[in-house]
Amino acid sequence: MNTAAFLFIAILTLAGALAAAVLPRLIHAALCLVGAFLGLAGFYFLLGAEFVGLVQVFVYVGAVAVLIVFTILLTRREREKDHASDWGGAVVALAVFVGLLWAIFQTPALAVAAPGIEPLTVRAIGEVLMTDYVWPLQCVGVVLTAALIGALVLVMEEKR
């Protein structure tokens, strides 16, 4: 059951990511990227990390994808032309992939069986965030507030 689900999600995710990389029209690529994001969320669900999966959908599909789509929309100057395939990018991507794969197989952690951990509940995450990690949380809050104010300042009309 789980293996079948894993295979299905894996194929979906990889297909989405590949399509996002090779499709000539930017909007299509962005929408396929959303498919890859959804596949990743499916993996988190499969691993029992329900909260992470939901946040993945919430942040990446709800916010990041909309941002990407808006960016494409507002910066598109002319109709897309057919681009010749850029082999340089493919070589770099392949090199990075092989490097990462090599690094992963070099790590000793792979040989050790993962210890059984309890499934993380939302409550546990909330308690840890509010006790041990309260300062990082506050710092993130300050950064986001600064970003919000910065965006407002950028779009504010100048007073004459």
Partner 1 sequence: MPGEFLDQIFVGAKRYILSFFVGAPEWLVRLVSSLITILVLIHVFLGLFALMSVLERKILARIQNRLGPNRVGPFGLLQPVADGIKMLIKEDIVPARADKVVHFLAPIMVAAPTILALGVIPYGRNMTPFAIDGGILFFFAVGSATELAVFMAGWGSNNKFSMLGAMRAIAQMVSYELPLILSVLPVVMIVGSLSPDAIVAAQSGYSLGVIPHWFVVTPWGAAGFLLFFVSGLVESNRTPFDVPEGESEIVAGHMTEYSGFKYATFFLAEYFGMFAISGLAVTLFLGGWNAPFAPLRFIPSYVWFFAKLSTLLFVFIWIRGTLPRMRVDHVMNFAWKFMLPMAFACVLAAAVWHYQARRLAGWLWSLVIVVAVYFVLSRLLDARKKFAPRTYRFAE
**Residues lying near partner 1 in the complex (CB under 8 A):** 1, 27-28, 31, 34, 50-51, 54-55, 57-58, 61-63, 65-66, 69-70, 73, 121-123
Smallest distance, partner 1 to C-beta of residue 126, A: 8
Smallest distance, partner 1 to C-beta of residue 16, A: 14
Ramachandran quadrant class, 16 (left: phi over 0; alpha: psi -120 to 50; beta: rest): alpha
Nearer to partner 1, 2 or 106 (CB): 2
Smallest distance, partner 1 to C-beta of residue 25, A: 8
Nearer to partner 1, 12 or 27 (CB): 27
The crossing angle, in degrees rounded to 10, of helices 134-155 and 122-131 is 90
Buried b (16+ CB within 10 A) or exposed e, 79-108: eeeeeeeeeeeeeeeeeeeeeeeeeeeeee
Nearer to partner 1, 78 or 86 (CB): 78
